Structure 1
């Protein structure tokens, strides 16, 4: 059995909001959306894969704090969760008076866990890699060290309302095999990153009508992971 811990993927949408008077705002909608639902359902079609999902507000308080807890999983997926969610614990905001709060660095924990054999996947977004306005803050972290690409220092988004298209470099790689890439729809944006020496490039992405390509999917070995 492969146990996957999926960190992220959920959000609450609050809309629309109406300013009715200078003294009040009314909210007319509130719903939960799970962006990862189709991906997770696809994984769960395999009876040998078990998925536990933690939306970002649960990652903040419930993501493993020890190697023993994290080692219950074989794979960690990080999607649309900024680094601060892992760095800053709930205890930081309610410390006991007169006490200094020190807690495990969960990003360093993830790095060591990968080095010892864990599998890590990070997908791009406004809150991963560096993200929109640099809010992801993953550049320079221990997690970046374990990944096959280098993040940019600032906002790394490439917005492509005209569409960006995938080119598969290695269709026979186990991660790519059996996927109908020829039917892949255009992307409306992606995060620009740099392939690290020793990493293997599986697919690239480029704007419609442009020759320049950026890495889209890459893999490598980090320690035993």
Structure 2
């Protein structure tokens, strides 16, 4: 049976100003950080649909019924406003469904949700991700802080397995490569803490209605997940098993 996942986010545009004395010029560069995750899931038998943030703003599905075409929806480094404020609503005052509520209802009806950490997920830098108090938080197995929830660890910090019996970490060694940061989240009382980073949760799994959700507090690619992590032999297994579990498999 085909496993289908929709990944939204993991893209950015950098606009630079180059000042050279009296004169200046600008350059713009577009980049994506999904390739490690996408490759891992495809190796694990997943059919991956990827919507960069600027595409998801317009094309992300509107309703739980639309989302039901996918076994899992994965949000990574994409702020709540990108999904909440469709361009037609923002520029033309068009009434459209609340896509954050649609994701929540999709999970309640049996879908799978994964949120991956970053500067624009959970609360993120300057709390600009804005998922705290949203319908997404209802469906997640974690509580989200109101403020900037980043924990930067430029010195490197080692993840540790908290529940070695959980299917998400089956077959993985106890020694994981370092991470360089994460979002500070708290497991809800009925959720399962699967892995830690420092004194905080790294992977939390839980149920919501008929569906499942997983929070991964760090990144799936650079910069918080440096080359040793994305090139780690356990990387593919971790992400495949994490999404398999979210899908109820």
Indicate whether the TM-score tops 0.5.
Answer: yes
Q: Secondary structure at the match of 2:91?
A: coil
Aligned residue number for residue 25 of structure 2? 26
**CA separation in 2, counterparts of 1:67 and 1:77?**
14
Question: Runs of 5+ in structure 1 lacking a partner?
Answer: 207-212
Confirm or deny: 8 A CA contact 2:89 2:96 kept in the other structure.
no
Alignment of 1:27-46 (within 5 A): 27-28=26-27, 30-46=28-44
Q: CA RMSD in A?
A: 1.6
The answer on 1:143 being equivalent to 2:140 is no
Confirm or deny: 8 A CA contact 2:193 2:204 kept in the other structure.
yes
Alignment of 1:166-177 (within 5 A): 166-177=159-170
Question: Runs of 5+ in structure 2 lacking a partner?
Answer: 212-249
Displacement of 1:75: 0.2
Confirm or deny: 8 A CA contact 2:65 2:106 kept in the other structure.
no
Question: How many residue pairs were aligned?
Answer: 210
**CA separation in 1, counterparts of 2:171 and 2:38?**
18
> What TM-score does the superposition give when structure 1 sets the normalisation length?
0.88
**CA separation in 1, counterparts of 2:31 and 2:169?**
28
The answer on 1:205 being equivalent to 2:197 is yes
**CA separation in 1, counterparts of 2:24 and 2:79?**
29
Give 1:73's match in structure 2, choosing from 70, 75, 78.
Answer: 70
Displacement of 1:159: 1.1
**CA separation in 2, counterparts of 1:44 and 1:166?**
25
**CA separation in 2, counterparts of 1:124 and 1:89?**
23
Alignment of 1:1-225 (within 5 A): 1-15=2-16, 17-20=17-20, 25-28=24-27, 30-47=28-45, 49-95=46-92, 101-182=94-175, 184-206=176-198, 213-225=199-211
Q: Secondary structure at the match of 1:143?
A: helix
**CA separation in 1, counterparts of 2:33 and 2:173?**
21
**CA separation in 2, counterparts of 1:84 and 1:158?**
22
> What TM-score does the superposition give when structure 2 sets the normalisation length?
0.79
Larger Cα-atom Rg = 1
Deviates more, 1:4-13 or 1:71-80: 4-13
**CA separation in 2, counterparts of 1:215 and 1:145?**
18
Between 1 and 2, higher relative CO (CA 8 Å, sep ≥ 6) is seen in: 2
**CA separation in 1, counterparts of 2:143 and 2:187?**
6
Q: Secondary structure at the match of 1:145?
A: helix
Displacement of 1:137: 0.4
**CA separation in 2, counterparts of 1:68 and 1:113?**
7
